[in-house]
Structure formats: C-alpha cells, structure tokens
Structure 1
C-alpha cells in the first residue's frame, strides 16, 4: 500500500511541478516577447509552489528523507535510540494531526464558508488549502507505518 501511495504522490508532485514550470515560462515569454503580463500565471505558480512544499514534506516523511541531526542519536544505546525514534515519530504524528489535519481542515472550511476566491484565477481558496489536511493524512499514514517498523530495526551501537 505504501509503495502505491508513494507512486501516486510522486506523480502528483511531478504534475504540479510541470504546471508550475509551464506557468512561469508562459509568464516570462508573455512579458518579454509579447509585452503582456498575465496576472494569473504568478498566482498559479504560487499555489503550485505551496502544493509542492506541503505535499513534498509529506512525501519526504514517507521516504524517511527529512533532515535530522544524528550526532547525539549515535551516542545512545540501542534501547535509547528506539525510544527516541518513537518519541520523534509521536511528535511528527501530533504535528500532522493538530496543525495539518485539524488546522488545515478548519482553514479550508472557513475559506469555503466565507466563499473566498483567489483574485486572478477566481478558484475557491478552500481548494488551494485542501492540500494541508491531505498532506497531514499522508504524514499520519507514513508515520504509523514507520512506527510499526521501529520494533524490527537493528539499532547497533556501531551503526553509521
């Protein structure tokens, strides 16, 4: 299931990056070749960048590629490493649920309720912000999956 989730997320990220690239290229071309400034391209690129950042963070969480400082971690015993790993994953889980899922869903709800639309594209901002709870849910799935694997990890003292 995780591999399918990774593949779908990768494809969405590539698609969003492609749309953002086309938007920026069109903005530059229209401005310098045709002397026309299309305001919607800047807004679309900004929304794509937001989606790339938030969805990319969830994807990196699943790939275990986020930044970590392991200087002190390597000095712990294997049982301490396992406990610390659980603690860090619990913090990630709390962040994903409270900030991304609950906070993101509330932001999404409020923008739909207030019928806010983006100035240039006129899309409901709730659609733009829907990536927050989606990414939060992905982080929860990835984190729970990793927490199930922690008990099988060999935390040897000489591990580098």
Structure 2
C-alpha cells in the first residue's frame, strides 16, 4: 500500500511541477508579448497582464507540492538535527499535521473563494470568471496533501539542497 501511494505521489507531484513550469513559461512569454505590443507596436494588449497574474497564481500553488515533498517547505532543520532519533519521528508527525491543517484551511477557503468568484469577471478578459484563478488554491492544496503524506511516509531531507 505504501509503495502504491508513493508511486501515486510521484506522478501527481511530477504533473503539478510540469504544470507549474508551463505556467512560468506562459507568464514569461506573455510578459515578452506585452513588452513588444506596448513599447514596439504602441498598442498594448490589456489581457496579457491578467493572464500573467493568473498563470503566476497557478504556478505558485502547483509548485508548492514539490516543495512539501522534498521537505523544503516547513523546515525545522536545527531542531531536527539536535534531537534524538525517537523525537525526530515525532517532529515529522507534528510538522505533517501542522502542514495538513494549513493546507486543509487553504482548500476550504480556496473552494469558497472559487464559488464566490463565479460572478466576478477578470478585467480585460470578461469571458473568464475569477473562479478559474481561485481554483488554484484547492487544486494545489489537493496536490500538496499528497506530497505532505508522501514526505511523511518517505522523508526526504532536502532543505539545504533545495536552498541553493
């Protein structure tokens, strides 16, 4: 069961990370497009700013699961290194439960915001509602829950490696 969950976690974290990278690429491309239309063509495209913001929101919430999985999100490195082995596993559980509590709050309120955002349109893109921007919170939260549990089952201490 543990191995099956870790395989699922591996695929979901990869999907989230690849999508986050695609959102970064989209934001950078739209930013370059905006610069060209505004300063070269002198005809700014208002919709690009909205889509850049939209893609950056999605990038952050889909990048967080990989940080949780690598153990780089909530770092209690000093306390962990100074503690005996029995206390270390207890610290893993405390960090996991604290992170899960935070993520469940983000999922709950993110879904609430997404539901409320159905009536709010995006400036420059009136055909899209804010539902799609706010949906990043619960979607990223679900991916994060899987990453947090995966890190509890198979801890990876990559705080220092990911900080470089």
Alignment TM class, shorter chain as reference = 0.7 to 0.9
Structure 1 runs (4+) deviating above 4 angstroms are none
Which residue is 2:125 aligned to? 121
Give the drift of 1:28: 0.5
**What is the CA-CA distance between 1:15 and the residue it aligns to?**
1.6
Shift in Å, 1:90 = 0.4
When the two structures are aligned, how many residues end up with a matched partner? 148
Q: Which residue is 2:27 aligned to?
A: 20
Query: Which of these two proteins has the greater Rg computed from alpha carbons?
Result: 1
When normalised by structure 2's length, the TM-score is 0.83
Unmatched segments (≥5 aa) in structure 1: 154-160
CA distance in 1 between partners of 2:102 and 2:150 (Å) = 16
Partner of 2:107: 101
Flag the structure with higher strand content.
2
Q: Structure 2, unaligned stretches of length 5 or more?
A: 1-7, 157-164
Q: Which structure's residues are more often helix, by fraction?
A: 2
Q: In 1, Cα distance between the equivalents of 2:113 and 2:89?
A: 36
Q: CA deviation at 1:4?
A: 1.5
In 2, Cα distance between equivalents of 1:132 and 1:31: 31
Report the RMSD for the aligned CA atoms in angstroms.
1.7
- TM-score, scaled to structure 1: 0.85
- Report the counterpart of residue 158 of structure 1 in structure 2: none
Higher relative contact order (CA 8 A, sep 6+): 2
**Is 1:148 aligned to residue 148 of structure 2?**
no
